[in-house]
Amino acid sequence: MELKGNGGGKWRELGDMWGAGETPRFGKIVMVEDEDGGSPPAIFMLDDNDILRYDMASNRWQKECSVPRRAPCKSSYGLVVLNEELHVMTIVNGIDSTETRRSRQQKRAGTLFMQIYHPRKKTWRCLVTKPPFRQPLDFSTTVMCPIQL
């Protein structure tokens, strides 16, 4: 899409965004908008454990970085943007061993582990919390999940 200053634009065909011999990727995609409005939005894709950035000029995805801690086997990531940061979320068990008196249902819900990437600073930070739900979250089928911490 060609963006104009008023926020409008029109679609145009650019061609194949995958190079010869490259395997097309179909990860979760998010857009990070510059809160100051000085830069065009940045588009990111989470592909397995890699974060790719879309380069509009070359019409290619380029590796930005890798998620520091891989998702546990048989689990998946969720990806959202908040305050110009990418929040990579997964449910893990066994991170919080300090609280042993939890109900069986709460134990099944696991712990929400967020790895937060700041694209401008190119830095990572982590946050561990309990999900506010009694049922386990499944990021492979969740499209949007409002979570208030």
Q: Position of tokens 């060609």?
A: 2
Surface-to-core class of residue 46, CB atoms within 10 Å of its CB (0-12 exposed, 13-18 middle, 19+ buried): buried
Q: Please give the chain's pLDDT, 149 residues, in tens.
A: 565 666 667 776 666 666 666 666 677 888 888 877 778 889 999 988 899 999 888 888 899 999 998 876 666 788 889 889 999 988 887 544 444 344 444 455 678 889 999 999 999 999 998 887 777 777 766 555 555 55
How many angstroms separate the CA atoms of 29 and 47, rounded? Answer: 9
* Long-range contacts at 11-18 (CB < 8 A, ≥ 24 apart): 14/59, 15/59, 16/59, 17/54, 17/59, 17/60, 17/61, 18/60, 18/61
pTM of the predicted structure, to 2 decimals: 0.70
Tokens of 14: 């650019």
